[in-house]
Amino acid sequence: MLKKPGGFAPILPFLKKFGIVLALLLVYRLVLFFFNFNLFQGVTSYDFLIGTWFDLITLSLYLLPVVIIYFIPTPLKLKRWKQIANSLLFVFISASVLAFNAWDIAYYSYTFKRISYDYLLFMLNSTETNSLAGVFLLEFWWLFLLFLLSLTVLIWSERKFKSDSFAVDNWKSWLFYPVILAGFVIIGRGGFQLKPIGILDATIYTTVEKSPIVLNSAFTMIKTIEFRGVEPKHYFTETEEKKYFNPIRVSTPQNILKDSTNVVFLLLESFGSAYVGPGNPDSYTPFLDSILNQSVYFSNGYANGRTSMDALPTILSSIPAWMDEPFILSSYSSNQFSGLPQILRKKGYETAFFHGATNGSMRFDSYCAATGIDHYYGRKEYKNEKHFDGNWGIWDHHMLNWSIDKMNEFKKPFFSMIFTLSSHHPFSIPSEYKSKIKMGPEPICGTLSYVDLALQEFFDKAKKQPWYKNTLFVICADHTGPTNRPEKATLDMRYRIPIAFFDPSGKLKPQKPTVSLQQIDIYPTILDLLNIQSKYYSIGSSYFSKQPKVIAAFAQQNLISFGSPGKPEVWNESKVYSKQNPKYWEIQHLKAAYQRYCRDLLSNKMLP
């Protein structure tokens, strides 16, 4: 005879299983912390306590479907089927939560942020995912074992703590069911406050550098799954806003270089200032450093994003990724926007983009078409699979050499951007270069040394071309590289990159400005150097402009201002500055720029 369940009988077994998943999330947080120990300075037990609170919120959200089915009063004859459904749902959802966090243990050291839903979708559809999956499994085999062990614990807990259902004819069951649901809903939204707790709220409890320890990947995933774009900001009236910021600009030709000067833009994968630059004792790029010494070189250069996908719109269209997803992946990528290639095409330039990865990689080919690039040269156009590195694409020394041959075919003037790729995980080095490179304390160092040799070969060949001395070379990194050294991973260093303008003719005199320059400032600066008179839209401003610069990046829903070199200021809407604060005007300009950025994205008005 079936035993009729008591009113509150199922609660304790469920709470035990819930507690086990909560404990496993703590284990994953500890593994993330120790695996990236040098990147998390000053973490305390309080940060882990707040992290547990965010884990509790996360599980309350994810396991709400389980709670609804688990605790709803049902007839005894449905008990078995209900237990099967609950068991499968509980294990699947809990395993997914842990899988997201396992992924981030490996992922975090490359981007210094928790993963988001849009990036997960990108990785699932990326052309490189299949080729790199094996590499990641080999490198992080122990994470796979940790996940399998966690899955075993989940299955064990589900079998160990089975419970009876609430009974349909038990009044206590009907009374307690809405109480349980309400409790999980309240915890899932983070309390009784007006808005549910979000990613940005982590910085209320800790610093932006330590917020990834407080957050967990399943939380950032579910909080970005409903991302519908930026929200309109109302810091100023539109009239007041224009006093601080206006993205409609007019170029100011400098008449330093000859008209119709060619441009070769070298966008270097992960070439952060940690291991690059003249005067840096930790530099692994002696040849590039020699070029930077002959350039207008900004040692206080900053990236506006953390991924390669952030870099292209930022540099070519002066549209920074001041939101949760890259511009390329967002719905705003279908907006009308202009950029450097469109303006140069109108002035008679032939434009091209070189990237040795498989065509379609990171949607660069689509973006290039949208921004006015005439020719896209990828792995498909290269047509020699013997030079494929087995992971990302064509080795840099082959692609750089080949790009010169293609540029020789262009009509003059021309604009070419060459995006390198070899200094990227898994940091492979071609066998013929292994005896020539300088290895360092981190895997990326050897690949930086290899790409530096490839750049030397590129310039040696370029010097022999008739167009060389009538070409402006622009040098910039897409973002900084991964590191486990705390002195290389400060908030400032996470965005610091070399930016330089090199003129082989010598008309543009070498200098090292102490002011800051960022990726969104490059496009306006190039227009001024090419003597091109044009009205254009740009969030950034030219180096030669007298207007105040807004130098900022976006991390975990916080804007980080780099207006004072070496002294980043983390700002969010909850911060209010008095006029006496030395950062007051810097933040006013930032707020105005962010307000205009959001409004123009929403209204599709990013044209002059």
CATH class for domain 251-508+524-542? alpha beta
List, in sequence order, every residue forming a beta bridge with 500; answer none if it has no partner. Answer: 297, 475
How many CB atoms sit inside 10 A of residue 412's CB?
Answer: 15
Q: What does the block give as tokens for 372?
A: 């006015």
Q: Which residues of the chain have pLDDT under 50?
A: 1-4, 6-7, 169
The pLDDT of residue 2 is 44
Dihedral sign from CA coordinates of 357, 359, 364, 369: positive
Structure token digits, residue 348: 């008679």
Task: Give the tokens for residue 501.
Answer: 């303008």
pLDDT single digits (tens) 218-271 = 998 888 786 667 889 999 999 999 999 999 999 999 999 999 999 999 999 999
Whole-angstrom Cα distance, residue 484 to residue 328? 29
Instruction: Give the count of beta carbons closer than 10 Å to the beta carbon of residue 541.
Output: 24
Helix (H, G, I), strand (E, B), or coil: what is residue 251? coil
Q: Please tell me whether the peptide bond between 426 and the residue prior to it is cis, using omega within 30 degrees of 0.
A: yes
Phi–psi pair at 502, nearest 5 degrees: -115, 125
DSSP 62-122: HTHHHHHHHHS-B-GGGHHHHHHHHHHHHHHHHHHHHHHHHHHHHHHHHHSS---HHHHHH
**AA identity, residue 462:** A
Task: Give a three-class secondary structure readout of 385-426.
Answer: HHHECCCCEECHHHHHHHHHHHHCCCCCCEEEEEECCCCCCC
Six token digits for residue 238: 């539109």
- Contact in structure between 554 and 314 (CB atoms under 8 Å): no
Q: Report how far residue 76's alpha carbon sits from residue 78's, in angstroms, rounded to the nearest whole number.
A: 5
* CA distances in angstroms from 458 to 288, 310, 464, listed in the order given: 11, 26, 10
Identify the bridge partners of residue 535 per DSSP, sorted by sequence position: 250
Nearest Cα residue to 408 out of 471, 456, 457, 348? 471
User: Could you read off the pLDDT of 284-329 as tens digits, one per residue?
Assistant: 999 999 999 999 999 999 999 989 999 999 999 999 989 888 888 8
* Parallel, antiparallel or unpaired: strands 375-377 and 350-355: parallel
Q: How many alpha carbons fall within 13 Å on the CB side of residue 513? A: 17
Residues 19-57: tens digit of each pLDDT: 999 999 999 999 999 988 888 888 999 999 999 999 999
For residue 178, give the 3-state DSSP assignment.
helix
Query: How many alpha carbons lie under 13 Å from residue 7 in its C-beta half-sphere?
Result: 10
Map residue 499 onto helix, strand or coil: strand
In whole angstroms, what is the distance from residue 139 CA to residue 482 CA?
15
Burial (CB < 10 A; 0-12, 13-18, 19+), residue 574, is exposed
Give me the amino acid identity at 329: L
Q: What is the pLDDT of residue 123?
A: 66
Domains of the chain by residue range: 11-224, 251-508+524-542
Residue 458 backbone dihedrals phi, psi, to 5 degrees: -60, -50
**Does the predicted TM-score (pTM) go above 0.85?**
no
